[in-house]
Amino acid sequence: MTLKSKILGTGSALPKKIITNDDLSKVVDTTDEWISSRTGIRERRIALDGKTSELAARAAKEAIKAAGLSAKDIDLVITGTVTPDMAFPSTSCFVQLELGLRAGIPAFDLSAACSGFLYALDVADNFIRSKSAKNVLVIGVDLFSKIVDWKDRSTCVLFGDGAGAVVLGATKSKAGILSSKLFSDGRKWELLYSPQDKNRTPFEDVKSKAKSAKNSKDSTSDSTLKMKGNEIFKLAVRSMGSAVSEALKEARLKPSDISLLIPHQANNRIIKAMQQRLKLSDAQVFSNIEKYGNTSAASIPIALDEAVKSGRVKRGNNLILVAFGGGLTWASTVIKW
C-alpha cells in the first residue's frame, strides 16, 4: 500500500475579545441586520494585544496533544499566514521556539491568503509522501484586525482573528488525504490585496532631501486591505465549485459521497451557493461563520477542529475542504477520516 498522510490531531485558538455586530455599529455606519443578513456573521474575535505567533502556538500545542505526540516528534513546521508578527523570522520559527520543538528541523511560512492552510497542507502532504518528513505541524493563522481599515464598513465587518492547526503524519491505511488541488491567478490580484509599501528604498532618502520628503509621504500611504466584494463573491462561488469537482474527480468520488464539506468561512451566501451546487443537505455542510467571521488562513482549520470536537467527523467519512482568497488563490482537499 502506498504511503499517504493523515491528520493525527487538530487544534485551534481564538482571542478572548468578542466584537459583536452591534459593537461595530458604534464604530462605522452599519447594522447587525445588514451584516448578519448579507454575510451570516454575528460576532468575531479580535486579538487586542496578542501576536500571530502566540495564537499559532496555542493552536499547535493543542493539535500535538490531540495527536498523542510530543514536541520532539515534530519534524517540520509550515504556517499559512499573511499577517506574521514580523517579515522575518517566520511564524513557524516563533512557534518552534514557543513550543520547544527540536532545533534543526525545517520551519517556514507560506503566503496564500485565505487559501494558506490548504496550500500548507498540500506541501506537508508532499513532504510526507516523499518521506522527507514524518510528523508535520501545519498551521493556518491570521490577524486581519491588524490590516483592515476600521473606517471602511464594506470590509472591516467581515474579518476576525484566529488560528487553527493539525498534525499530519505518515500512514499506510486507507484513511488520509485522497487528493489535493491548488490554483492561482495573479492577473486578478487587484480584487483583494493588502499593500505593503515595499516599492521605495530608504537609499533614495539619502540621495536627495526633496525625494526623501516625497518618499516619506509615500511610506505613510494607506496600507489597509482592499477588496472588490461583489467580484470576489462571484469568483469565489465559481472557483470553489470547480475546485471541489476537480478534487472529487481525482479522488474518484461523487458529491453524494461527501459526509462533510468544510468551506472557507467568508460569507454564508457563498457557502449556501456551494451547498446548492453540490446538492448537499445542511448536515453535510459545516459553518461557524456567525461566531468568528472570516479568519482567512485560520478559517478551515478552526472549522475542522470544531467539526472533529463536536463529533461531526467520524472514522471513514469523506471530507472536502475548499478555500478561496487573495492572489487570487484557491484550493481543495479530499480527506478520508
State the nearest-atom distance from the C-beta of 43 to ligand UT7, in Å.
14
Stretch that binds ligand UT7, among 61-69, 82-90, 230-238, 328-336 (CB under 6 A): 230-238
Site membership for ligand UT7, residue 266 (CB under 6 A): yes
Site membership for ligand UT7, residue 236 (CB under 6 A): yes
- Using CB under 6 A as the binding criterion, the count of chain residues that bind ligand UT7 stands at 22
Site membership for ligand UT7, residue 240 (CB under 6 A): no
Q: Give the C-alpha separation, 196 to 83, whole Å.
A: 11
Q: Give the C-alpha separation, 96 to 48, whole Å.
A: 23
Site membership for ligand UT7, residue 108 (CB under 6 A): no
Position with the least CB separation from ligand UT7: 229
φ, ψ dihedrals at 135, nearest 5°:
-130, 110
Nearest to 325 by CA among 225, 211, 256: 225
Catalytic residue chosen out of the listed positions 21, 135, 264, 318: 264
Binding ligand UT7 (rule: CB under 6 A), the pick from 56, 93, 107, 270 is 270
Stretch that binds ligand UT7, among 84-92, 95-103, 265-273, 311-319 (CB under 6 A): 265-273
Sign, Cα dihedral of 77, 78, 83, 88: positive
Binding ligand UT7 (rule: CB under 6 A), the pick from 157, 170, 322, 328 is 157
Stretch that binds ligand UT7, among 53-61, 140-148, 172-180, 264-272 (CB under 6 A): 264-272
156 in catalytic set = no
- Per residue, the 3-state secondary structure of 233-283, as one string, reads HHHHHHHHHHHHHHHHHHCCCCHHHCCEEEECCCCHHHHHHHHHHHCCCHH
Site membership for ligand UT7, residue 39 (CB under 6 A): yes
- List the x/- string, 184-213, binding to ligand UT7 by CB under 6 A: --------x---------------------
Binding ligand UT7 (rule: CB under 6 A), the pick from 313, 324, 327, 331 is 324
Site membership for ligand UT7, residue 325 (CB under 6 A): yes
State the nearest-atom distance from the C-beta of 230 to ligand UT7, in Å.
5
Nearest to 323 by CA among 145, 126, 120, 157: 120
Q: Is 293:41 a contact under the CB 8 Å cutoff?
A: yes
Total residue length of the chain: 337
Site membership for ligand UT7, residue 229 (CB under 6 A): yes
- Which sequence positions are flagged as catalytic? 114, 264, 294
